[in-house]
Amino acid sequence: MNEVEIIQFALESLEQKTGITGYWEELQHKDGIRLIISIRNNSFIFSVEAKREVRPQHIQNILKQKERLGDLIVVAERIFQKAKAELRELSIPYIEANGNVFIKKSDTLIWIDTNPPLKIKRETGNRAFTKTGLKVLFHFLMNESLINTPQRQIAGETGVSLGNVPQIISGLIKTGHLFQLNKDTYAWAGHHKLLERWITEYETVLRPALFLGRFTFKGDYREIGLTGDQTVWGGEPAADFITNHLRPEEYTIYTKETRQELMRKYRFMPKDDGELYAYQWFWNDGNHFRENIAPPLLIYADLMIKGDKRSIETAQMIYK
């Protein structure tokens, strides 16, 4: 569903489930949509942020929209539970396409969270957001000028076959993230929205395929001598190294090494509920921040996916 379809579907579900009515209208002189909700003879007017899905990593951008637009309501096909909790804490209204709603305005409080989430149909046929496409896109996000190098160079730097590159570029153009200026030159439509999309797809498509298992270890993680060209810290421990602001509760590594090598070299022991999560290394070796730390963009993504306040706060420090 596109933005307008999401809003219309959500309003119809809201009326069907609650009797609350509403309508939307496009703003004439500036970009955007206004939503009018009627509750007990009162009308509430909101600017709208419409999205297919809302996860914790989207909250900071929604806050910026609220600061810019004033009264804001989030309308989405699906809002994940952690994100809903944060929106309620921030008193930001929302409507889900299934009829779940939160509106807190003056002496009015409407909060329904009993309808099961709708299953979102994933985009098919777009190579930009497959496992291979997401690996290439990660390199584009780290180096936006890479898009304007020869496709053979893109393939070499990202480690994918040459035949994948034009299909990935075509997929980015199709979704509006990339514009073709002429035969060999492209321009990005916006870094942050593309990063948000990449994090969402990375969490659900690529990262599960990279997962090697969970481990436990003894002692201080800072004293573990990771072989920086083979295994690096991601997530919370990497963020702690960079900012000295976050004490890890979960530990993430990215590695080229086998489970046996991880056990032998670092004394990581397999454990189903272990505190250490191991993933395969998937990016070009040259994109290091420090010797034993993953690229900051990936650390940022790990923290935003974790989604708690302390992780998001630290992620913003790294992003800036």
206 or 108, which is more confident: 206
Report in angstroms the alpha-carbon separations of 194 from 20, 67, 173, 200, 272: 34, 21, 12, 10, 34
**Is there a single domain that holds both residue 27 and residue 86?**
yes
Each residue's pLDDT tens digit, 33-65: 889 998 877 889 999 999 989 988 888 889 888
Contact 228, 291 (CB under 8 A): yes
**Is there a single domain that holds both residue 218 and residue 311?**
yes
Tell me what pLDDT residue 57 has. 82
In the block, tokens 């999309």 appear at 197
DSSP character at residue 146: G
Q: Is the pLDDT of residue 32 over 90?
A: no
Q: Coil, strand, or helix at residue 95?
A: strand
Residue (of 292, 81, 62) closest to 47 by Cα position: 62
**Is there a single domain that holds both residue 180 and residue 218?**
no
Residue (of 177, 173, 171) closest to 125 by Cα position: 171
**Is there a single domain that holds both residue 81 and residue 44?**
yes
**Is there a single domain that holds both residue 166 and residue 88?**
no
Distance CA 19, CA 28 (A): 29
In the block, tokens 């990660």 appear at 138
Q: Is residue 258 part of a domain?
A: yes
Tell me what pLDDT residue 125 has. 66
**Is there a single domain that holds both residue 181 and residue 219?**
no
Tell me what pLDDT residue 18 has. 86
Q: Is the pLDDT of residue 308 over 90?
A: no
**Is there a single domain that holds both residue 213 and residue 299?**
yes
**Is there a single domain that holds both residue 92 and residue 169?**
no
Residue (of 217, 227, 218) closest to 255 by Cα position: 227
Each residue's pLDDT tens digit, 95-150: 999 999 999 987 888 999 988 887 766 655 688 999 999 999 999 999 999 999 99
Q: Is the pLDDT of residue 284 over 70?
A: yes
Q: How many domains does the chain have?
A: 3
Domain boundary residue, one of 64, 82, 112:
112
What's the rounded mean pLDDT across residues 188-196?
A: 88
Tell me what pLDDT residue 69 has. 85
Each residue's pLDDT tens digit, 285-294: 765 557 789 9
Q: Is the pLDDT of residue 311 over 60?
A: yes
Supply the range of the domain harboring residue 277: 205-319
Each residue's pLDDT tens digit, 1-20: 778 888 988 999 988 888 88
**Is there a single domain that holds both residue 132 and residue 183?**
yes
Tell me what pLDDT residue 178 has. 93
Q: Is the pLDDT of residue 182 over 70?
A: yes
**Is there a single domain that holds both residue 175 and residue 214?**
no
Q: Looking at 101-254, list the stretches that DSSP marks H as alpha helix, in order from N- to C-terminal side.
A: 131-142, 151-158, 164-174, 191-201, 207-210, 235-243
Tell me what pLDDT residue 30 has. 55
Domain boundary residue, one of 144, 164, 189:
189
**Is there a single domain that holds both residue 75 and residue 171?**
no
Each residue's pLDDT tens digit, 148-158: 999 999 999 99
Q: State the chain's mean pLDDT as an integer.
A: 90
Instruction: Please report, for the domain that includes residue 35, its CATH number.
Output: 3.40.1350
Tell me what pLDDT residue 124 has. 59
Tokens of 65: 């929209």
Q: Coil, strand, or helix at residue 94?
A: strand
Q: Is residue 279 part of a domain?
A: yes
Q: Is residue 40 part of a domain?
A: yes
Distance CA 282, CA 160 (A): 11
Contact 93, 49 (CB under 8 A): no
Q: Is residue 118 part of a domain?
A: no
- Total length of the chain: 320
Contact 210, 298 (CB under 8 A): no
Tell me what pLDDT residue 31 has. 60
What's the rounded mean pLDDT across residues 162-182?
A: 92
Q: Is residue 122 part of a domain?
A: no
Distance CA 280, CA 242 (A): 22
Tell me what pLDDT residue 17 has. 86
Q: Is residue 121 part of a domain?
A: no
% the chain with pLDDT above 90: 62
**Is there a single domain that holds both residue 53 and residue 8?**
yes
User: What is the number of H-type helices and E-type strands within the chain?
Assistant: 12, 14
Q: Is residue 195 part of a domain?
A: no
DSSP 189-229: S-HHHHHHHHHHHIIIIIHHHHEEEEEE--S-GGG----TT
Instruction: Please report, for the domain that includes residue 133, its CATH number.
Output: 1.10.10
Contact 167, 211 (CB under 8 A): no
Q: What is the pTM of this model?
A: 0.77
Tell me what pLDDT residue 126 has. 81
Each residue's pLDDT tens digit, 213-264: 999 999 999 999 998 889 999 999 999 999 998 899 999 999 999 999 999 9
Tell me what pLDDT residue 156 has. 93
Tell me what pLDDT residue 33 has. 85
Q: Is residue 135 part of a domain?
A: yes
Contact 236, 249 (CB under 8 A): yes
